[in-house]
Amino acid sequence: MVARMRSVIVTPHVALVLATLSPFLPAPALALAAAVAAKREVVHQVYAGRGTIQAAIDKSVDGDEVRVGPGIYRERIDFLGKSITVRSEAGAEQTLLDGTPLEPTDTGGSTVVMCSGEGPDSMLIGFSIAGGDGTAEPGKKHQISRGGGLLLLESSPIIKECLILNNTADQGGAVYVEKGTPVFLECWFYRNTSQLGGATIQCVDSRPRVVFCGFHEDGIQWRDTGSVSIRSDCGPGGACCIRDACIMASRTACEDAGGRWQGQDMPCVESTCPSPCQEDVNGDGRVNMTDILLVMDAWGMCHQHNVHNEAQITDACE
């Protein structure tokens, strides 16, 4: 059932602009300007048990807002490429978007999908996102599910004040991001499972920003990615080494995460971060007898000094 309640808001800013222009605009033009301004502020109200969020999204156009009352919404949603805001009234603690399949014939999927070029004007604010089990990549012989909670393909939305929990997928239990630059602001990731291993957020050829967020488990994993920006403030960013991975972060965020700050405006390049396990001499991921033998073989002064000493010994023996 489509949400029936629809309200139109003219903000004080719009009213001020119209009041300023009114002496110079004929009545028809003023009416048209007011109609256009009002249209951009349409709010679609949804209440639990009285309509669905997806129905409100279907009805929305760019610039609209879908405002959701507290409660449990057992559905999965797709923004359909629209520049809209989907916002809860009571916050994530009281508003659950549950993508758990309800019928035996329901094959499941990602709880939230944005795969149609959504940008920063597409915003999801104040929801608990749970119950998703990922979406299989079409056309692949081996069906691997991606993005239990959120599937973001070639999209760069803003996800704010959300609790993303109890989702699962083969890759990216909480979020799978590919070819996008989404922003996660003040979110918390809790008890999400990636069946094939890996992290809560899996990024492919993407540059997400994660600001003021918390992780209960493995955090972020990325490949084919220039840099991931993790920020705790709006201060200057630079390269931050967390183990052998390099991310772009502010100094505060880097140090809070136990990373090694490389300096303001320092870019992430291949050689920025050394291996965190200095004892692994041969780089095979293990510290064992081979590493000890390599150290013993190199025992003594550093290379330049060794060359000098060897020359002295040679001279003395001639």
Residue 247 lies in a domain: no
Q: How far apart are CA 100 and CA 109, in angstroms?
A: 8
Q: Select the more confidently predicted residue: 239 or 113.
A: 113
Number of separate domains in the chain = 1
> For the CA atoms of the chain, what is the radius of gyration?
27
Gap between the Cα atoms of 96 and 133, Å rounded? 16
Three-state secondary-structure class, residue 254: helix
Residue 188 lies in a domain: no
In the chain, how long is the greatest CA-to-CA distance? 108
The 3-class SS string of 192-249 reads: CEECCCCCCEEEECCCCEEECCEECCCCEEEECCCCCEEECCCCCEEEEEECCEEEEE
Locate tokens 């780089």: which residue? 283
- For 251-308, the pLDDT digits (tens) are 776 776 667 778 877 776 655 676 656 666 665 667 777 767 767 776 776 654 444 4
CA dist 199 to 128, 129, 202, 251, 315, Å?
A: 19, 17, 6, 23, 59
Q: Is residue 202 part of a domain?
A: no
Q: Which two tokens stand for residue 1?
A: 């059932």
Asked if residue 314 has pLDDT above 50, the reply is no
Q: Which residues contact 37 (CB under 8 A, 6 or more apart)?
A: 10, 14, 17, 18
Average pLDDT, integer, range 118-141: 91
If we measure between CA atoms, which residue out of 204, 152, 142 comes closest to residue 175?
152
Q: Is residue 291 part of a domain?
A: yes
* Total-model pTM: 0.64
Which of 74-83, 190-199, 305-314 holds the top average pLDDT? 74-83
Q: Which helix (H) or strand (E) holds 165?
A: strand 163-165
Label the pairing between strands 6-8 and 42-46.
antiparallel
Which residue range is the domain that position 318 belongs to?
280-318
* Average predicted confidence (pLDDT) for the chain: 76
- pLDDT tens, 194-209? 888 666 888 888 878 8
CB 240 within 8 A of CB 246: yes
* Structure-token pair, residue 79: 């923004």
Residue 1: pLDDT over 50:
no
